[in-house]
Amino acid sequence: MSENELLDFCRHLYAKVGIKALSYEELSKQGALYYHLYRHGINQKKLVVRLGLQEQYIAYKATIPLMRKGRLSQRWTWEYIVKEASLVKNQMGMLPPAAWFQDNGHSSLVTSVYYLKHTWEDLRKELDDFEGSNFVESRNGLRWLSHPEAALSNFLYARGIQHKRGERYPDEYSQHSTAKYAFFDLHFLSSTGAWIDVEVWGDKPNGHAEAHYKIKRGHKEAYNESNPNFLGIHFRDCFNETTLANILEPYIGSIEAFQFDKPTDHLIHSTHWSNADELLEFCRHLITTMPDGKFPCEGWLRKRGKWKDRPGETYNTLSIYIKTWLGGIRNLRKLLDQSYVSTIEWDKESAISAYRKFYDEHGLTAGQARHMGKAGKEISPELVAEGTRIDNAVLKYAGGAAAVNKLLDIVIDRTRRWSRDSILEGFQTIISEWKMSPVQLLYEHKTGKTKFPEEIYKSASQLVGSVNQQFNGVKEVYEILGFEPSSRPRKRRTKRELNERS
């Protein structure tokens, strides 16, 4: 018989008896059929593949008990896996991670889960148990194998981009790799309507040796080399909002985050939402252990300065994560509704320094800002709050504003009231003489790039400090004067020229 005739005969057997007819035992009962198949290079496994009945035969095989060491043994079906895993869950009170099963004589259960094209998360869903899970949940409710994957998911969710958990590589992948199977990490829908296959590259993920992972990654990169919809992202880039936006722009365009579920979401980069949720809970717990009920300063966390001898553990790592994930302690206090708590460790020196800096930057003292806020004048609430904190610190640690003004040689002109015309005239005078605005002049002087005569510096400080009394910021002054500071490069003046002008 020819090869095609043999295959047609086997199809007839399948149609008559069912999938059972393709087992080795049943084929052997058909006279010389198996001998002739073998002559053509077709064994039982290849026959099932040639007839396209692999899935049906695997399902049939799973129903047949195995004979091992003279006794029958249950095959690993999905139902049997769930049953065995349930026994462990009932015994331990939760379903342990897959590694626990491998370390405690149940590695065949883990192997069977993936052989049957399931995942460990599928088993957790079946048992409704996520207590022992190492998965990281993203804002849309999906569970991911790592924090970087959850960060990428949150970034996409915040921008309304459809995405899903990574699916299994095509079966042909095993021909390009030593692994029998693999999964992508994530898929998202691009602006062209194509699904993008994503791999989040690690360094030594899940404890694997670096050499082993390098081979694994190489196989995946080689397989996806001809895939126009493949994207590999290093795990660190998943935590950086700006970097991730640049990487994804060719696929989704430039989209600002707009989908916020929590009142604090806009204060935290979307890539840190999952991390921030856990970290915020710990910070709230830490507050309950503080005598004053306030979140401590960085010096307390790191045991530095006056806190170096405090009892208890050091929170260096926590301090780093607060900076990285939550934007620093000041932003954390906003998230915890403790904005009123100062992040500065006040003493005489820090109070005077803050007072000087405030005056230099805004052209008015901290007390003046405080009183302007009380009088309902045009001044930002943030500036009033900052001025109030500094004014209180000066009163407590440095003898009050009058003493500090005298120490710093700050003269308060309580008689002069700047009009719109006088402010415009003052700006125009400095722009004409120095080819820069008063704001630029203050910056150059404070950074040490150019030291101006003291009376010029004070005049510029007063001008800038008075702007908010009559205008909506210096931008309005620039528009009226037709001045564009960024478009007028200035020739640096020599010390001789400055001395001649002064």
Using one digit for the tens of pLDDT, what is the confidence trace for 166-225? 998 988 888 877 777 788 999 999 999 999 999 999 865 444 456 677 888 889 999 999
Higher per-residue pLDDT: 449 or 417: 449
Confidence check: pLDDT of 114 > 90: no
Residue finishing a domain among 225, 251, 277: 251
Question: Are residues 188 and 230 part of one domain?
Answer: yes
Which residues have a Cβ under 8 Å from the Cβ of 453 and sit 6 or more positions away?
498, 501, 502
pLDDT value of residue 190: 95
Residue 68: φ, ψ to 5°: -130, 125
In-domain check, residue 43:
yes
In-domain check, residue 484:
yes
| CA dist 388 → 299, 342, 364, 369 (Å) | 23, 11, 13, 8
Count each helix (H run) and each strand (E run) in the chain, helices first: 25, 8
pLDDT (tens digit per residue) in 325-366:
777 887 888 877 776 655 566 788 888 888 888 888 787 888
Q: Is the pTM of this model over 0.85?
A: no
pLDDT value of residue 73: 57
In-domain check, residue 353:
yes
Q: Structurally, how many domains does the chain consist of?
A: 6
**Tokens coding 376:** 């309902």
Question: Are residues 240 and 203 part of one domain?
Answer: yes
Residue finishing a domain among 15, 34, 61: 61
Which structural domain, as residue segments, surrounds residue 313?
265-328
Question: Are residues 321 and 275 part of one domain?
Answer: yes
Q: Are 1 and 9 in contact (CB under 8 A)?
A: yes
Residue finishing a domain among 279, 298, 328: 328
Cα–Cα distance measured from residue 251 to residue 233, given in angstroms and rounded to the nearest whole number: 13
Question: Are residues 495 and 443 part of one domain?
Answer: yes
Question: Are residues 359 and 308 part of one domain?
Answer: no
Per-residue pLDDT band for 318 (boundaries 50, 70, 90) equals confident
The CATH number linked to 150 is: 3.40.1350
Higher per-residue pLDDT: 420 or 72: 420
In-domain check, residue 301:
yes
- Report which residue type is found at 411: V
Please, is 338 exposed, middle or buried when counting C-beta atoms within 10 Å of its C-beta (0-12, 13-18, 19+)? middle
In-domain check, residue 387:
yes
pLDDT value of residue 426: 84
Q: Are 94 and 131 in contact (CB under 8 A)?
A: yes
Question: Are residues 226 and 166 part of one domain?
Answer: yes
Higher per-residue pLDDT: 72 or 47: 47
Question: Are residues 431 and 374 part of one domain?
Answer: no
In-domain check, residue 83:
yes
Which residues have a Cβ under 8 Å from the Cβ of 58 and sit 6 or more positions away?
none
Question: Are residues 112 and 16 part of one domain?
Answer: no
Helix (H) or strand (E) holding 233: strand 230-234
Question: Are residues 394 and 441 part of one domain?
Answer: no
Question: Are residues 398 and 470 part of one domain?
Answer: no
In-domain check, residue 235:
yes
Residue 359: φ, ψ to 5°: -65, -45
In-domain check, residue 46:
yes
Question: Are residues 214 and 159 part of one domain?
Answer: yes
Question: Are residues 242 and 151 part of one domain?
Answer: yes
pLDDT (tens digit per residue) in 236-291:
888 888 889 999 999 999 999 999 887 667 767 788 777 676 677 778 878 888 87
